[in-house]
């Protein structure tokens, strides 16, 4: 499988998470994407807050890490997993995660600070659900030849082009079998098939633009690690609607740039703080806005 890559460009790239931040609060978006332009707070301070994690995020990251390790092993061997060793690996990863990250719950004293054992166990529970799933059995039974081209948590950000606009759509796992390109997204949070299905259309566009796969040879699977899996059907007009959405959301974000090509933002004052103060309780940057 040959993956097309793109030369560096400074212009902002659409992603579902970037536009989520933009919709949540313009000031939050500014701190998240333009910290070096702020003259009020140091870059180090903003980066510290930006890097805060939470129990939910930690469990999600660790579960993804566990599945990545399982699939990378499966690429080489279908021998049964040594669960004791795997559980020790997850504990070790959780301990490392706690060592290397600061928790929002601790920083803002907003809740009990999760410990490594609790996080490791919660992530392991998700990964075990996956190990017991029909999907894992199906992947394990695939012919050896398919394993050469697995794309497991690929590096980078999944840069692609949607109607010539820069965009980021990073897949969790992609494989090709019998002429079909299967794309999987692992989810640990609350099930929201409608919202998540829309995000997955971006992965279809990624496979089309970066791998040259025709749309009718793509199968999208939304896999909730709580135990359910939904196939996302690409309906007539869905991709066009998605492209139009990317187009209009990119234009909205461009309108907050003083220089679009170089991705220079307007002055901070142009990024107002949200009027919905209840949202600030969910924001990592609340200290900077005096809303902690």
| Interacting residues with ligand SF4 (CB under 6 A) | 25, 27-28, 31, 273-274, 279-280, 283, 285-286, 289, 291
Rounded Cα gap, residues 139 and 75, in angstroms: 10
In the complex with ligand SF4, which residue's Cβ is closer, 45 or 177? 45
Report, in Å, the least distance between residue 94 CB and ligand SF4: 28
Alpha-carbon span 109 to 213, nearest angstrom: 48
Q: Are strands 229-232 and 218-224 parallel, antiparallel or unpaired?
A: antiparallel
Residue 290 and residue 292: Cα distance in Å, rounded?
6
Q: Please, what is the minimum distance in Å from the beta carbon of residue 112 to ligand SF4? A: 22
Coil, strand or helix at 205: helix
Contacts of 66 (CB under 8 A, 6+ apart): 86, 89, 90, 93, 123, 124, 126, 127
**Nearer of residues 105 and 229 to ligand SF4, judged by Cβ:** 105
Only one residue has tokens 């993956």, namely 3
Closer to ligand SF4 by CB, 28 or 64: give it: 28
Backbone angles phi, psi at 189, to 5 degrees: -80, -165
Nearer to ligand SF4, 27 or 170 (CB): 27
Q: How far is the CB of 42 from ligand SF4 (least distance, A)?
A: 16
Nearest distance in Å: CB 32, ligand SF4:
9
At closest approach, how far in Å is the CB of 14 from ligand SF4?
21
The residue behind tokens 């992530």 is 123
Smaller CB distance to ligand SF4: residue 173 or 285?
285
């Amino acid at each position: 499988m040959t993956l097309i890559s793109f030369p560096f460009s400074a212009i902002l790239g659409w992603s579902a998470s970037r536009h989520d931040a933009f919709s949540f609060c313009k000031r939050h978006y500014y701190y998240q994407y333009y910290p070096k332009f702020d003259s009020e707070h140091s870059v180090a301070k903003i980066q510290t807050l930006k890097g805060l994690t939470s129990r939910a995020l930690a469990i999600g990251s660790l579960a993804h890490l566990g599945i990545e390790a399982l699939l990378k092993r499966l690429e080489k061997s279908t021998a049964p997993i040594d669960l004791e060793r795997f559980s020790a690996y997850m504990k070790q990863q959780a301990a490392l995660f706690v060592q290397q990250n600061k928790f929002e719950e601790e920083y803002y004293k907003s809740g009990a600070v999760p410990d490594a054992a609790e996080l490791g166990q919660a992530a392991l529970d998700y990964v075990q659900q996956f190990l017991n799933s029909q999907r894992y059995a199906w992947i394990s039974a695939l012919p050896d030849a398919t394993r050469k081209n697995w794309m497991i948590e690929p590096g980078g950000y999944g840069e692609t082009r949607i109607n010539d606009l820069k965009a980021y759509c990073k897949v969790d796992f992609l494989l090709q079998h019998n002429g079909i390109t299967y794309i999987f997204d692992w989810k640990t949070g609350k099930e929201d098939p409608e919202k998540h299905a829309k995000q997955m259309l971006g992965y279809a566009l990624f496979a089309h633009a970066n791998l040259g796969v025709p749309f009718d040879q793509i199968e999208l699977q939304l896999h909730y690690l709580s135990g359910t899996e939904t196939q996302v059907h690409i309906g007539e007009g869905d991709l066009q609607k998605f492209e139009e959405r990317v187009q209009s959301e990119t234009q909205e974000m461009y309108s907050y740039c003083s220089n679009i090509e170089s991705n220079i933002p307007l002055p901070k004052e142009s990024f107002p703080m949200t009027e919905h103060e209840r949202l600030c309780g969910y924001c990592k940057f609340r200290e900077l806005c005096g809303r902690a």
